[in-house]
Every structure is written in C-alpha cells, then in structure tokens.
C-alpha cells in the first residue's frame, strides 16, 4: 500500500470509530426516544465525515504530481512537433453558487493536444428527483463530494488517450469511486496491445495490494461501464472502474483510492514517453479523429460524472473538458 498523505492521520479516524462504538448505546436510546415521541429522526452521518480534509488534500496533491509529470513530458519531447513550445498548465478557479468549487487545469501542448485535470469539492442538496438515484440521499438530500478527474487527448494517433478519476462522496452514507481507462486510437495493433498490458498490470498491482478479487471485479465493471450500446462496442482497452466502495475499513478504502491514482501516475506517463516521438501519417490522424467520436458519444450519453456534474450545478466548462478539441464523424 502506498504511504498516506502527510495530512492523513489514521489514528484520528480510529479514535473517532472508537467513540462512535462507545456511544452506540446512547445513539440507539436517542433514536428510540425520538420514535416514541413521533419526532423526526435525523439520519446518522458516516465515518467518512472525518476524512473530508484528507481526501481533498490528496486529490490536490495527485493533481500536482500528475501535472508535473505531464509538463516534464512536454519539455523532453523530440518528435514531429518539436518546433512548438512546450505546453504548460493554465489554472482557472471556479465557485459553485450553492456550495464549494474547484480548480480546472488545462494544457494544450506539443504532445498533449488537450489535457484537463479538474479537482473539485462541492456540497449542497440534491434535486428531489435526482436525489432518489443517489445512495443515502433518498430521505436526506444533503451531500458533500470531492474528487479528481483527468482526460488526456494526444496529438499523435500512436499515443492512446486516457481517463482517470477518483472521488469520495458523503450523504447519509459515505463511499469512494473512480478508476482509469485507456483508449488506443489504433486498436488491435501490437503497440496498442503492449500499452494496454502495461496499463492493466499497474492496476492489477494496485488492486492486489488490497483485495485478491478487486482486479477482476473492477476490470469487468470497467468493460461493462465503458460500453457503447448503440454501437455494440467498447470505448477502448479498458482498465478498472469501481463505485460505492465502503468495505467497513475506511483506512484501506482510502488507501486503495490513493493507489488507483498512483497506478495511473506510474503507467500512463511511461506509455506516452514510449510512443510520443514516433512519426505518424495523415491517414492515421484521420482515423484518430473518427475514433474520437466514440469518446464524445459515451461522455455525452452515458457518463455518470457528466450527468452528476450537470445535475448538481457544477462548472460546465470543467465538466465538458473531457471532450477532445477536434473530432470527425464520417
């Protein structure tokens, strides 16, 4: 397991757990009294409340580490577009009227045609109808959420596109979710298979460090999730996807969520560096732009993150940063 962030204190979470157990009898008594007097019962809050600051700090740290790795790639590039200046991230802060906000970092460079990393922390209440679809919000619509979302679209059709996100949500329940997936723009080639194998190996190691069943479970979930029913095909080469992770071990769940982000940091920059200096043809570029259409179709029709962001009044530009800068439909 990767080391916890400098701000994370598992002892503090453990003490909170002990206090909760010690006061369990008191909570049960209070609930009984409230029910006997026909008073409204306020749902208990999950132990994830104690982790809010640490989760937010981790997602911001992960953004900074991935951003530094991507800027180093731009600096070291020696491929067909080397006459261009290396890209640098541009940061924009945004606030959400009903609570919270975030920072969107976007870079348009000579390797990364467009890459966006969004970190946000938002809170408020769900719309009643939408709240019915969210775990733990059926009767109490209040929520708190923090997370990181990243999408990279490359100039070179020989370098796969990638997506990664991890998050923590708190309603009357708390859980983690996220994952990472790879989208080769030349699927089926030897290079695409090699890249996918390296990507999956990193995620297998992250999963196996926490539970022997995680990799196969979350790999299959990713294949099922990133599927285009109207085309009867997968979006890419897969990866892992998980949601509603609340195993009862908060420290391990947070550690796994961290390791999912670190697996991406370990694997994807290495894949980019392996392919970025190769030359490509106009025919390959044309096929890349057409293939990107699948990405757009999925994100606008099926993606949970897009739907969640739009339904909760998030920043539209940050939500739609996942879309590629150029795309074609034949």
Give the chain's radius of gyration (CA, Å).
21
Instruction: Tell which residue, 119, 155, 113, 160, has the closest CA to residue 269.
Output: 160
User: Has 153 been annotated as catalytic?
Assistant: no
Name the phi and psi angles at 244, rounded to 5: 55, 35
Rounded Cα distance, 313 and 260, in Å: 27
Name the phi and psi angles at 104, rounded to 5: -105, 125
| Residues facing 153 on adjacent strands | 114
- Show Cβ contacts of residue 98 under 8 Å, excluding neighbours closer than 6 positions: 124, 125, 313
| Residues facing 120 on adjacent strands | 102, 147
| Cβ 247 vs Cβ 228: under 8 Å | no
Active-site pick, 48, 153, 155, 163: 163
Report, as residue numbers or ranges, the catalytic residues. Answer: 163
């Amino acid at each position: 397991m990767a080391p916890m962030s400098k701000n994370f204190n598992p002892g503090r979470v453990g003490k909170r757990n002990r206090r909760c157990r010690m006061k369990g009898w008191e909570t049960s008594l209070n609930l009984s009294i409230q029910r006997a007097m026909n008073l409204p019962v306020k749902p208990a809050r999950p132990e994830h409340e104690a982790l809010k600051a640490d989760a937010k700090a981790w997602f911001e740290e992960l953004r900074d580490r991935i951003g530094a790795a991507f800027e180093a790639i731009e600096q070291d590039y020696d491929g067909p577009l080397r006459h261009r200046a290396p890209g640098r991230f541009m940061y924009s802060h945004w606030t959400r009227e009903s609570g919270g906000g975030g920072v969107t970092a976007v870079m348009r460079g000579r390797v990364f045609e467009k890459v966006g990393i969004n970190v946000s922390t938002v809170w408020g209440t769900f719309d009643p109808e939408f709240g019915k679809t969210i775990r733990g919000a059926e009767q109490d619509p209040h929520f708190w959420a923090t997370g990181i979302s990243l999408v990279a679209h490359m100039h070179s059709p020989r370098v796969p596109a990638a997506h990664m996100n991890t998050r923590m949500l708190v309603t009357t329940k708390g859980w983690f979710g996220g994952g990472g997936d790879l989208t080769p723009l030349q699927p089926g080639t030897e290079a695409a298979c090699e890249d996918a194998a390296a990507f999956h190996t990193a995620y297998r190691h992250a999963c196996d460090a926490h539970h022997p069943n995680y990799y196969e479970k979350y790999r299959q979930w990713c294949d099922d999730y990133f599927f285009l029913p109207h085309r009867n095909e997968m979006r890419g080469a897969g990866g892992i996807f998980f949601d509603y992770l609340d195993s009862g071990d908060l420290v391990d769940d947070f550690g796994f969520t961290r390791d999912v982000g670190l697996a991406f940091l370990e694997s994807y920059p290495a894949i980019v560096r392996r392919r970025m200096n190769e030359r490509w043809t106009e025919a390959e570029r044309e096929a890349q732009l057409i293939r990107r259409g699948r990405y757009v179709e999925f994100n606008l029709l099926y993606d949970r993150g897009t739907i969640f962001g739009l339904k909760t009044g998030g920043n539209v530009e940050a939500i739609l940063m996942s879309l590629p800068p150029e795309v074609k439909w034949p």
